[in-house]
Amino acid sequence: MNRWLVIVLLVLGTVGGLHAQEPDSLRRDTIPKMADTLAVDTAGRQADETRRERRQRERREREAQEQKQTVFKDSARLALEAMSVRPWKQSLMVPGWGQITNGGWWWLKVPVIYGGFVGAVLVFEFNNRYYHDVLREAQYRINNNHAIPPNTKFPYLAAGSQATDRLVAAKDYYRRNRDLTVLVTVGWWGIQAVEAYVTSMLKHRWDIGDDLGFRISPTLLQQPPTSLTYQHSPYAIGLKVGFRF
* Mean pLDDT (the chain, rounded): 76
Query: Is the Cα torsion angle 14, 20, 23, 25 positive or negative in sign?
Result: negative
- Summarize the confidence of residues 116-133 as an average pLDDT: 95
Q: How many CB atoms lie within 10 A of CB 134?
A: 23
Q: pLDDT of 175-194, one tens digit each?
A: 999 999 999 999 999 999 99
With 80 as the cut, is the pLDDT of residue 23 above it?
A: no
Question: What are all long-range contacts of 184-191, with beta carbons under 8 Å and residues at least 24 apart?
Answer: 184/120, 185/117, 185/120, 185/124, 188/113, 188/116, 188/117, 188/120, 189/92, 189/95
CB burial of 79-114 (b: ≥16 within 10 Å; e: otherwise) equals eeeebbebbbebbbeebbbbbbbbeeebeebbeebe
Tell me how far CA of residue 139 lies from CA of 91, 135, 158, 171, in angstroms.
Answer: 43, 6, 16, 11
Question: Is it the case that residue 18 has pLDDT exceeding 70?
Answer: no
Averaged over 148-152, what is the pLDDT?
A: 80
Angle subtended at Cα 178 by Cα 177 and Cα 180, rounded to the nearest 5 degrees? 65
Position 42 scores a pLDDT of 53
Confidence grade of residue 24 (pLDDT, cut at 50, 70, 90): very low
User: What pLDDT band is residue 238 in, cutting at 50, 70 and 90?
Assistant: confident
Residue 210 has pLDDT above 90, yes or no: no
Evaluate whether 153 touches 133 at the Cβ level (below 8 Å). Answer: yes
How far lies 70's CA from each of 47, 56, 64, 67, in Å?
A: 35, 21, 10, 5
